[in-house]
Structure 1
Amino acid sequence: MSAKSGNQRNIKWVEGLRGVTSVLVITTHIARALDYALFWPADAADKGPRVLQLPYLRIPFQGRIGVPIFAFLTGFVCAYKPLKLAYQQGNAPAALKSVARSAFRRPPRLVLPALIATLFSFIMSCFGAYKASTRCDSFWVRFDTPDLMPFFANVQRLFKSMLTTWTNGENLYDRHQWAMRPLLVGAFQVYVVLAATIGMRFKYRMLVHVLLFLYWLMNVEPLTETFGANLALGTLLAELAQHRPTQNFISSHHRLLTYIIAPLLLAIGGFVGSYPQEHEDWSPWAEKLHKFLVDPAGDESRGSFIVPLLSNVQRRSSSFFIQCLAVALFVSPGIQKLLSHRYLLWLGHHSFAVYLVHGTILRTVGMWIVFGITGEPWQPAGKNEDGTQQEQEWLQPRSEGHKLTAIIVFIILTYTAAWAWMRWVDTACARATQWLEKKVFDDDDGEGKAGFAEKGYSGHVNGNGIPPRLAEANRAHPPP
């Protein structure tokens, strides 16, 4: 394959990966709600593992990988178009303008849909649709569900949640929106890096990307490995996607990369990413992995390269898997082709809508089927004779058949709602954002009449979009 065709390779796999990720998100949330033991390596210390608790097979159900993938894709997609302009057209000003427009579009394209999804959840809360969820035996569902409260207090909570979603990540109507703020901040991190490095030579830009990636890996503050490192990796791979020698190398060695290197990366990353949420001492493989990642010295004096001391082992192990996955996808045209399947592209197109609507559907219709719509019979825990609090008895699932029915109905409703969301809600948000962009920015071909009028230039503009007086002032030499 020639360098030219390598540079022209499409990136549809990005949309396909986004689609797979949306499926993984709802899969892990089903597991959290209905079978939390899948997050452990076994149901108990003295029991053997179930099939879905084994390494690799447990990854889709134990979660922790959806948000890191979205972070990587944010870094890749936000950087790809500006870098393409700078590389293929040699047009740094156009690349910077693309960064400016993308930065303007990003907040409304995230904030408006999130606000609408929060409003839907608020309406469900007002009608008492979450009663069964607040009384079910799943702690995770109860934690994610807004408490019942009077209408005016509910309205106050709505406006507070609309604000705190973007200040501290807290949204009491849809806790799944916790990742929206760091993804928005991360996008602007990418834009700043692009604006600062777009004029650099390739090797120095690459050095910046690598140093940022390593910085976020060494930083043990919360979520740095989930967002910072994966955003930087996405930007780095977007850079290499435009680099002709890199693409030539991938094209020339695609068999080796697809059939040996990529599977090896997935095998290593997948085993590390299988690290359980808790109770790692309940299984020999998990205990050995814990020692290798968290306490290689045996005295808790140091961590490992993958999991530095004082960092979050669950998020570190999952992010390491995503980083291996990202590199494997990048170097394997075969895997990219698989992810470009039209069904996965359809899932990818609806992925953001799925992320926004699935939580509300799971906590209402899903829980109604498993526990009953009314949330009855229900007896609040009282106090014992000595004044101590009694243990609350929660609603139990009606049967395994009800769980299976709930899963099927939940998936069908979620993707139906996502389709409707993309057709009407997202389209309206896109139009509103486009209207704002046209209102705020000047014409694509240059500064428009409104922009020059704001600067105090009156009269007509010439054919180049420049006022006559300004054109005269800009001439280097007098006319002949």
Structure 2
Amino acid sequence: MSKPSSQRNIKWVEGLRGITSVLVITTHLARALDFPLFWPADKPDTPPRLMQLPYLRIPYQGRIGVPIFAFLTGFVCAYKPLKLAYQHSNVPASLKSVARSAFRRPPRLMLPAMIATIFSFILSCFGAYTASNHCDSFWVRFDAPEYLPFRKNVRRLFKSLLTTWTNTDNQFDKHQWAMRPLLVGAFQVYIVLAATVGMRFKYRILVHVLMIAYWLMNVGALTETFGASLALGTLLAELAQHRPTQNFITKYQKFFTFVLAPMLLLIGGWVGSYPQEHEDWTEWSQKLHNWLVDPEGDQSRGSFIVPKGSNVHRRASAFFIHCTAISIFVSPLFQKLLSHRWLLWLGHHSFAVYLTHGTILRTVGIWVTYGISGQPWEKAGTNEDGSPMPQEWVKPKSRSHKMLAIMMFTALTYMAAWAWMKWVDTACARATMWLENRVFDDEDNEDRAGLAEKGIPVLNGNGILPRPKETIRVERILPPP
């Protein structure tokens, strides 16, 4: 007999979040220290390295971390309100849960992101990014803030604190570009929940499916990454509460675990292996490109997975994430594996890893690889004919220095994440809780202040109703029966 939906394992969500945080730092290490891993081969006529082959390249080539966070946002934001609506048939409590979650989400994202930005600002004031500005890794140079005089740097700080949430630009930590889409996406989930919580099950499912279809047909930037992933998370959160669906999965769990789930991972992984650049350098990537982007061979149309006009890289990665999410959802074995305590620990620290790893990579990681001073380096001038001279950048000390940098960076990142969760995130959570308690009425019964604000008579401190005159005044503003 299957377990009731209230007892089903959803710890896998935290485990998946933990794996995602590892993938994020893995791809950023590849970008910083070995960018050709994003290609199917180092050069057109050379065989690919092991980590450039299909499937094996996925952790290094990036593009999958943020879509997973989007899917998890949709699932987590929807799960509790739907649980209240399903198991307790309490629509008012579900709506109140949505309201509290919507209020809580901005400060829980904004406060930690602001503190991380200020830390990076302080380091920039002391020239901690000089080595990053002078190294031969163009991605690191793009990612690191240039040195500015203190007054201009302060202005840049306040601008970054604002633009992180307006146009996704943060000069001190460009990795925060995903914060705004994830915040907006969470409110997309809240709106859908509030609009559909009173519907019958089949119509709610129809809404979620239509939302996925809408975002997949939309070829605008990032829509397939965030919109469809968010809607899929909400759909699976809905099905996780639906007893017949869970009983069906339990009844055929061997088929789902050993046939359907691996098949989804194989198909999704093949599509998700689409390289970032130079897809024409190997036969497999060229065939994949033709199948996804140009099936007719004349650029006339795209494919079902990559419609014409959409971003093939993000579409391919989003398709892989959707296949992965469904395979986990239908496989109790995969869910159990993702619930391992080590993965849960990684998941608990994932947001802290996301906020701290970029700063540590651009400082300690680059210091070990290139040297702290970033010297010798001179800004390129011009030739005698006035043409610009090619810029010479600082080279890595050695391959062993790169390996040492990776080990030190990884250790420091998770040490910083542990300290962040212990002190910084705890302080932000307390501040958010204090603010929430000030703004909202008590969970179980509305407090005296809340009732008084609404003009409803309440007992005074002695357990006596207000004077008749006050009661009459209150009753006069109420509508007649």
Which residue matches 1:92?
91
Which residue matches 1:434?
433
Which residue matches 2:108?
109
8 A contact 2:457–2:465 mirrored in 1? no
Displacement, 1:460? 1.7
Pairwise mapping of residues 276-425 of structure 1 onto structure 2 (< 5 A)?
276-425=275-424
Which amino acid letter does the alignment assign opposite residue 355 of structure 1? Y
8 A contact 1:365–1:410 mirrored in 2? yes
- Secondary structure of the equivalent of 1:42? coil
Which residue matches 1:218?
217
Displacement, 1:462? 10
CA separation of 1:126 and 1:22: change in aligned 2, threshold 3 A: same
Alignment RMSD (CA, Å): 2.2
Q: What is the distance in 1 between the residues matched to 2:78 and 2:409?
A: 35
- Secondary structure of the equivalent of 1:393? coil
Q: What is the distance in 1 between the residues matched to 2:417 and 2:302?
A: 42
Displacement, 1:446? 2.8
Calculate the TM-score normalised by the size of structure 1: 0.96
Q: Deviations over 1:57-112 (max 9, x none)?
A: 00000000000000000000000000000000000000000000000000000000
Displacement, 1:452? 1.9
Which amino acid letter does the alignment assign opposite residue 278 of structure 2? H
Q: Deviations over 1:176-214 (max 9, x none)?
A: 000000000000000000000000000000000000000
8 A contact 2:305–2:315 mirrored in 1? yes
Pairwise mapping of residues 237-252 of structure 1 onto structure 2 (< 5 A)?
237-252=236-251
Which residue matches 2:69?
70
Q: What is the distance in 2 between the residues matched to 1:463 and 1:235?
A: 48
Q: Deviations over 1:91-144 (max 9, x none)?
A: 000000000000000000000000000000000000000000000000100000
Q: Deviations over 1:14-42 (max 9, x none)?
A: 00000000000000000000000000000
Q: Deviations over 1:33-55 (max 9, x none)?
A: 00000000000001000000000
8 A contact 2:140–2:362 mirrored in 1? yes
- What is the aligned residue count? 477
8 A contact 2:67–2:318 mirrored in 1? yes
Displacement, 1:455? 2.6
Which consecutive residues of structure 2, in runs of 5 or more, have no partner in the other structure? none
Q: What is the distance in 2 between the residues matched to 1:343 and 1:459?
A: 51
Which amino acid letter does the alignment assign opposite residue 439 of structure 1? R
Which residue matches 1:172?
171
Q: What is the distance in 2 between the residues matched to 1:311 and 1:323?
A: 17
Which amino acid letter does the alignment assign opposite residue 121 of structure 2? F
Displacement, 1:463? 12
Which residue matches 1:136?
135
Structure 1 residue runs of 4 or more that deviate by more than 4 Å after TM superposition: 461-473
Calculate the TM-score normalised by the size of structure 2: 0.96
CA separation of 1:454 and 1:382: change in aligned 2, threshold 3 A: same
Which amino acid letter does the alignment assign opposite residue 376 of structure 1? Q
8 A contact 1:7–1:247 mirrored in 2? no
8 A contact 1:7–1:244 mirrored in 2? no
Q: What is the distance in 1 between the residues matched to 2:460 and 2:78?
A: 35
8 A contact 2:82–2:238 mirrored in 1? yes
Which amino acid letter does the alignment assign opposite residue 273 of structure 2? S
Which residue matches 2:49?
50
Which amino acid letter does the alignment assign opposite residue 357 of structure 2? H
CA separation of 1:46 and 1:365: change in aligned 2, threshold 3 A: same
Q: What is the distance in 2 between the residues matched to 1:183 and 1:174?
A: 16
Q: What is the distance in 1 between the residues matched to 2:195 and 2:124?
A: 46
Pairwise mapping of residues 195-206 of structure 1 onto structure 2 (< 5 A)?
195-206=194-205
Which amino acid letter does the alignment assign opposite residue 175 of structure 1? K
8 A contact 2:98–2:194 mirrored in 1? yes
> Does residue 449 of structure 1 match 2:419?
no
8 A contact 1:6–1:251 mirrored in 2? no
Q: What is the distance in 2 between the residues matched to 1:319 and 1:143?
A: 25
Displacement, 1:459? 5.1
Q: What is the distance in 1 between the residues matched to 2:257 and 2:457?
A: 61
Which consecutive residues of structure 1, in runs of 5 or more, have no partner in the other structure? none
Q: What is the distance in 2 between the residues matched to 1:472 and 1:80?
A: 41
Displacement, 1:5? 3.2
> Does residue 156 of structure 1 match 2:155?
yes
8 A contact 1:7–1:241 mirrored in 2? no
Which amino acid letter does the alignment assign opposite residue 189 of structure 1? Q
CA separation of 1:392 and 1:59: change in aligned 2, threshold 3 A: same
Which amino acid letter does the alignment assign opposite residue 345 of structure 1? L
8 A contact 2:458–2:465 mirrored in 1? no
Q: What is the distance in 2 between the residues matched to 1:199 and 1:457?
A: 28
Which amino acid letter does the alignment assign opposite residue 255 of structure 1? K
- Secondary structure of the equivalent of 1:353? helix
- Secondary structure of the equivalent of 1:200? coil
8 A contact 1:447–1:465 mirrored in 2? no
8 A contact 1:261–1:328 mirrored in 2? yes
- Secondary structure of the equivalent of 2:4? helix
Q: Deviations over 1:232-287 (max 9, x none)?
A: 00000000000111000110011110011000000000000000001000000000
8 A contact 2:9–2:335 mirrored in 1? no
Q: What is the distance in 2 between the residues matched to 1:65 and 1:14?
A: 16
Which residue matches 1:41?
40
- Secondary structure of the equivalent of 2:68? helix
Q: What is the distance in 2 between the residues matched to 1:464 and 1:420?
A: 48
Q: What is the distance in 1 between the residues matched to 2:132 and 2:154?
A: 20
- Secondary structure of the equivalent of 1:44? coil
Q: Deviations over 1:441-471 (max 9, x none)?
A: 0111232211122233465269999989599
Which residue matches 1:187?
186
Which residue matches 1:118?
117
Q: What is the distance in 2 between the residues matched to 1:453 and 1:95?
A: 24
